[in-house]
Amino acid sequence: MKSSGAIAAAAFSALLIAGCATKVERPTAEMTRASTLIDQAERAGAQRHAAAELQQARQKLSAAEKAANDGKGEVAQRLATEAGVDAELAVARTASGEAQRSAEEVHRSTETLQQEATRGSGDPK
């Protein structure tokens, strides 16, 4: 009976080692997605509102490409995914910044209209 337990343990160890040794292929889909998201962030104006996030996304994508070229698929996949998330954050911050800018512009316009209305009506406030 001891030998069957030893065989089972050896088989389990072999499966565990084989599972850990599984090589992740070049993460082409993740890298393409990250690159597309970075392009979208650039077109949205992220350089103005989220330059740090955009730069971080670019750096992570570059590191992912290097890792993929070095045969480190798992690292490349993680970095490409992070680059995509950073680019999405850049797009969100850009949209927020643009919305804030628009709100401020509307506020200034409203104040100007109120001043004009006050002058036009002759009511001193």
CATH: 3.10.129, 2.70.98, 1.20.1270, 2.60.40. Which one for 24-118? 1.20.1270
Q: Where are the domains of the chain?
A: 24-118
| Opening angle at CA 5, ends 3 and 8, nearest 5 | 110
Q: Name the residue among 44, 43, 39, 25 with its Cα closest to residue 83.
A: 39
What digits encode the pLDDT tens for the residues 62-104?
A: 999 999 999 999 999 999 999 999 999 999 999 987 778 878 8
Task: Give the contacts of 123 (CB within 8 A, at least 6 positions apart).
Answer: none
DSSP 3-26: HHHHHHHHHHHHHHHHHHTPPPPP
pTM over 0.85: no
- Sequence-distant (≥ 6) Cβ neighbours of residue 96 within 8 angstroms: 49
What tokens were used for 35? 């690159």
Tens-place pLDDT, residues 2-29: 555 556 555 555 555 555 555 678 999 9
